[in-house]
Amino acid sequence: MPDLTPTTLPPSGGPKTNLRARLKSQARRDQLICLAIAVVLIGGIFFLQPALKNRRAHLVQSSDKSIGQLLLTFPRLALGGFRGVLAAVLWENAEHDKNVQKWRPLETDYNAIAAIEPYFASDYIFNAWNMSYNLSAQYHGLGTKYKWVLDGLVYLYKGEHYVPDNANIIMNEGNDFFLKLGTSFERKYYCARWRYDIAHLYRYKPGQKGAHFGTLPEVYFIVHQPEFKCKLLPPLNGHGPLGHGVKVGKIHYRYGLSVFYFAWVEYGRAMHQPKLPTDSGIEVLDSWQPMALRLWCRDDIYYAQRLTNRIFSQPEGKMLRRFPARVRNILDCYRNVGINGPRDIKEWHAYLQKYPDQYNVHHQHLLETRYFMALALAEKAMFQGLVAWQNNNRKFRLGDTADRYFLLAISRFKQAMISFHTYLHYAYPRTAGFPKGMGRGGQMRFMRAMEARIAGIKSFRIAAQRGTPNLSFLDPVTLSDSD
């Protein structure tokens, strides 16, 4: 048979060796190219780094804010569609904790709900209401009640950080100051404690912890919200607590500031939002600011009256403790009425011009503010007479400085009685039927209190010359402490 093996086949092993060498050569070339590109890119980073840092500084916010956003974003991204289910479970758990009076776990539930649903205003409004109104009512101690009210306010302000410019949140902040701290059953304690805490803010520095600070951290956080424009004042002396306080604009409130100032600010801010609050009609909403100013006047007069009575009803030696500071404290209250009274009258006139159909509802409040202004002048003159008598070592004679103040006080109390009668005739007409104690007869006790002031001052002018004056005429209160 013929030999069919091709005579042209290459020798065994020759071409395979050449192919392997060629592939290795191409691999080395590619590696060298990649290495060169890597060297060029790494070198380019050094030249681009300054520009990248500059761009990053404009794009990335502070680390604290970034971490805060991450804490909000992470659970929302991680939970995905189960976020609503978990929120519903937490709501149910919160209601259970409230019903079985597990207050601390309840506060944790609220914080967890806010972390899962941080951009829902209703969460903050509902939970803050529970804290300030429902939970505070579960305790008997006024200090604990007060703490829960402040917790509700803090919760609202933290919510406003994530839901800014929400009129309903802002309106509820104003309501907490006005309705809870200012006019609730516990108002006497709340209003006085709020002033006390502001006068003691010098004791607290942000970040400090300790039970001895009481509610100062919460008050510090609230007072330093930017809309209040409060700046801490340095102490007048190192002994505190009187003489510290805050400054708003050019006015110093060294001995505390009424809760109604904060309500007035928040109501005004709520009405300047793009969308108005939805819990009331526009005529009601617009009335809250002048209502807050009116009660600010009343609150300062009431506080000054009570402090005056407390000072001069004590033994003389005990009364002299911090006497000059307490005098300044009371005079500041009457100064506040002199500032806010005319402002409130102006706001009421603007309101009634805008809503003439509300005249029968709110004209009485305008008249009451005029009464407050007249009363403040009378109470101030009487107080200055007492201070002049005290500073003269309790020596009195007709015609001296104290006596001139007392004569001025008698004249001004008579004018205040005229203003009160005008208010009384309009707000409580004789033909109107009111529940016992709330009608005209109930209001007449304030007229009788002013009559007692006049009679007491006249008796003082006679008895003080013999050194035995009776100061019981300071005890009756010439205005209500409720709305």
pLDDT tens readout for residues 127-156: 888 889 888 888 889 999 999 999 999 999
305 and 266 share one domain: no
Q: Are strands 246-248 and 251-253 parallel, antiparallel or unpaired?
A: antiparallel
Considering the domain boundaries, does residue 360 fall inside one?
A: yes
Number of domains in the chain: 2
From 256, 249, 121, select the one nearest 196 (Cα to Cα).
256
228 and 312 share one domain: no
Question: pLDDT value at position 237?
Answer: 65
- CA 403 to CA 389: how far, in whole Å? 8
Question: Residue 239 carries which side chain, given as an amino acid letter?
Answer: H
Q: Which domain holds residue 135?
A: 119-279
288 and 425 share one domain: yes
From 173, 91, 89, 64, select the one nearest 128 (Cα to Cα).
173
178 and 213 share one domain: yes
Asked whether the CA dihedral 296, 298, 299, 304 is positive or negative, the reply is: positive
- CA 348 to CA 291: how far, in whole Å? 9
Considering the domain boundaries, does residue 451 fall inside one?
A: yes
362 and 461 share one domain: yes
What pLDDT, in 10s, does the model give residues 103-114? 667 667 676 776
Tokens of 399: 């015609």
According to DSSP, the residues that pair with 230 across neighbouring strands are 248
Phi, psi (deg, nearest 5) at residue 242: -75, 145
Torsion of CA 404, 407, 412, 418, to 10 degrees: -170
Asked whether the CA dihedral 70, 73, 78, 84 is positive or negative, the reply is: positive
From 296, 297, 267, select the one nearest 282 (Cα to Cα).
267
Q: What is the pTM of this model?
A: 0.78
Considering the domain boundaries, does residue 145 fall inside one?
A: yes
pLDDT in tens, the chain (483 residues): 444 444 444 455 455 556 666 666 776 777 778 887 877 777 776 777 777 666 655 544 443 443 344 444 555 555 555 666 666 777 677 777 667 666 667 667 676 776 666 767 888 888 888 889 888 888 889 999 999 999 999 999 999 988 899 999 999 999 999 999 999 999 999 999 999 999 989 888 888 877 778 899 999 999 999 999 999 988 776 555 566 899 999 999 999 999 999 999 999 999 999 999 998 899 999 999 999 999 999 999 999 999 999 989 877 666 677 888 899 999 999 999 999 999 999 999 999 999 999 999 999 999 999 999 999 999 999 999 999 999 998 899 999 999 999 999 999 999 999 999 999 999 988 765 554 445 777 888 999 999 999 999 999 999 988 888 999 999 988 888 776
Residue 354: CB atoms within 10 A of its CB come to 11
Considering the domain boundaries, does residue 480 fall inside one?
A: yes
Question: pLDDT value at position 332?
Answer: 96
Considering the domain boundaries, does residue 63 fall inside one?
A: no
Final residue in a domain of this structure, among 258, 279, 300: 279
123 and 256 share one domain: yes
401 and 452 share one domain: yes
| Distance (Å) of CA 91 to CA 131, 157, 226, 331, 467 | 15, 21, 32, 50, 68
Considering the domain boundaries, does residue 191 fall inside one?
A: yes
Tokens of 283: 């005529």
269 and 290 share one domain: no
The whole-angstrom distance between residue 297's C-alpha and the CA centroid of its chain comes to: 18
Final residue in a domain of this structure, among 279, 305, 327: 279
130 and 154 share one domain: yes
383 and 290 share one domain: yes
| Distance (Å) of CA 195 to CA 216, 294, 316, 391 | 11, 18, 25, 27
256 and 314 share one domain: no
Considering the domain boundaries, does residue 189 fall inside one?
A: yes
296 and 249 share one domain: no
Final residue in a domain of this structure, among 279, 309, 344: 279
Considering the domain boundaries, does residue 70 fall inside one?
A: no
